[in-house]
Amino acid sequence: MATDLRISNISKIYPGCIANDNVSLQFKSGKIYALLGENGAGKSTLVKILSGVISPDNGEVFLNEKNLKLSSPLDAKKNKIGMVFQHFNLFETLSVFENLSIDATEDNKSLRVRINEILKKYNFSIDLDVPVLNLSAGQKQKVEIIRCLLRSPKVLIMDEPTSVLTEQETEELFISLKKFCDEGILIIYITHKLKEVLSLCDEVAVMRKGKVVSVSQTQNERVETLANKMVGQKLAKIKKKINISKNKDEIFKVKHLNFYSDDPFETNLVNLNFSVKKGECLGIAGISGNGQNELFQILSGEIITPDTSIIFRNKEIAKLNPKQRREYLMAFSPEDRISQAAVPELKIYENVALNNFKSSNFFEKGLVNEKKIKDHSKKILSDFSVNTDNVELKSQFLSGGNLQKLILGRELITAPELLICYNPTWGLDVGAINYIHETLIKINDQEKSTILISTDTEELLKLSDRIAVIYKGKLSKIMPSEEVTPEKLGVLMGGGSID
């Protein structure tokens, strides 16, 4: 039976922001629909309304012309709307089967039979009796999908499903989604990745600032047209000029980097060796959780490992703490903006003072030089186009993009010889991403080096001169980026090997 989902004049207003402004959309089964938009465009709000997590201030949802009252997630379930969130709702220490049986209404025996039927039908290979923590992200996602399928859904909503997947896993997911679609399940696919929209979806609705700005057939769209609709302005194309760095000096060299941890949630690093040349960007790719956190902290000096040698500008710095490393002109931009790189409760100028280096004189003879810090902060705010000039503002009032600009500005204003950044554009909108990318390219143009640890392959291919992949704490061989394709990266990131 065909399914028809209609959203009519939905509005949701939060204090200070209109998350959904009179949104009306229509979906019919047999097609895959994309919901595209930047961070904060209102996609998530709309999805939460459809899944009953929040209720709209105004407007209605109709499923096959029946007006739905979605006041809790259970209502969504009852009406056969299934939802796979970006962050999994699974109990890591329970087995796959236990996770699936938690909210099942039938007895274990018949449940197992049904699960096995689904596994067979869609060619999923998952051992039902291993604990979920042993599964890869892609497998966990499959468990979530199976959970939805068990309720024979009419609508399946996928929220940014590929953000944690390798290229291979993404392809598998797409195949499954197309299969579901053929079976009459209506699929709504939420993303901000343009290429996925084009390769997977039939119809695309673009949202911007809470409104639906366009609904179109994907066959009539290209990456550029979609990007323009999403951002609402012509995007300047960034092209990195190939850096001819064959004969340049090695400015940074890591030897025998090993890290062993007793903590099962940390990844051990096994004998990493690499070097960075002057003016070069070394990209380190990998799915998150393969040792990037630990690697970043060792490179920044937060973790000191014995027997490791780190040479920076001909000096051994392996035993120095982050502050001392900064004195040698290194700079660090961690992944976690909110609880590591900056403190939201602190004012902007106080966050700037975190990067305290010798020549800054932020603190003279142990005293705070507030004027100097504030002058410096003002310069950062204007040089890095942060959208405020009030250095007394608490950082929590900055958007993600502006906070990242502030952090990057703070790190770069010391004119470091090497910047190490970890997922610098994570969770940002296209405008901010472009700005950060331009900035990173500029650094290389000025003969300064960067190490870019990132889980975004597109970003890595765009910015890096050479790329290596980290997988389970081991580093692949380092390849010139001209030789690297997304497919190759995907294979390495998924633990495979290339000739």
Partner 1 sequence: MIKIEKRNDVPMALYFFTPFIAIILTILGGGIIFYILGFNPIEALKFYFITPISNLYGFSELLLKATPLCLIAIGLSFCFKSNNWNIGAEGQLTFGAIVGGGVALLFYNQEGFYILPLVIIAGAIGGMIFALIPAILKTYFNTNEILVSLMLVYVSKLLLDYLVVGPWSNPEGFNFPETRQFSNSSRMPLLFEGLRIHAGIFLALAAVMLSWFVLYKTYLGFQIKVSGLSLKTAKYAGFKGKTMILVVFMISGACAGLAGVGEITGPIGQLHRMISPDYGFTAIIVAFLGRLNPFGIIFASLVVALTYLGAETAQIFLQIPKYTGQVFQGMILFFLLASDYLLFFKVKILNLKKNELRY
Nearer to partner 1, 72 or 152 (CB): 72
Q: Which residue from 406, 415, 416 is spatially nearest to 299, judged by alpha carbons?
A: 416
Least Cβ distance, residue 364 to partner 1 (angstroms): 9
**HSE of 274 in the Cβ direction (CA atoms, 13 Å)?**
23
- Residue 29 one-letter amino acid: S
Rounded Cα–Cα distance for residues 499 and 493 (Å): 15
Please tell me the distance from the alpha carbon of residue 33 to that of residue 26, in angstroms, as a whole number. Answer: 10
Residue 126 beta carbon to partner 1: minimum distance, rounded to whole angstroms: 24
Cβ closer to partner 1: 343 or 498?
343
Q: Minimum distance from CB of 49 to partner 1 (Å)? A: 16
Contact residues toward partner 1 (CB under 8 A) are 71-74, 77, 103, 300-302, 321-326, 332, 334, 336, 339-343, 345-346, 350, 353-356, 363, 366-368, 396
Comparing C-alpha atoms, which of 412, 448, 99 is closest to residue 243?
A: 448
Three-state DSSP class for 422? strand
Q: How far is CA 384 from the centre of its chain?
A: 22
Nearer to partner 1, 16 or 264 (CB): 16
Closest approach of partner 1 to the CB of residue 258, in Å: 21
Give the nearer residue to partner 1 in terms of CB position, either 4 or 98.
Answer: 98
Q: How far is CA 346 from CA 271, 302, 338, 394, 430, in A?
A: 38, 21, 11, 6, 27
Tell which residue, 108, 86, 82, has the closest CA to residue 97.
108
3-state secondary structure of 312: strand
User: Cβ distance 278 to 449 under 8 Å?
Assistant: yes
Q: Which is nearer to partner 1, 175 or 368 (CB)?
A: 368
When the beta carbons of 122 and 328 are compared against partner 1, the nearer one is: 328
Judge contact between 94 and 129, C-beta under 8 A: no
Q: How far is the CB of 101 from partner 1 (least distance, A)?
A: 13
- Smallest distance from partner 1 to CB 366, Å: 5
In the bound complex, what is the minimum distance in angstroms from residue 76's beta carbon to partner 1? 10
Minimal distance, residue 325 CB to partner 1, in Å: 7
**Tokens standing for 360?**
């800054």
Beta carbons of 215 and 25 less than 8 angstroms apart: yes
Distance CA 478, CA 457 (A): 15
Nearer to partner 1, 117 or 345 (CB): 345
**Residue 2 vs 368, nearer CB to partner 1:** 368
Pick the closest to residue 451 from 366, 339, 342, 331 (CA basis).
331
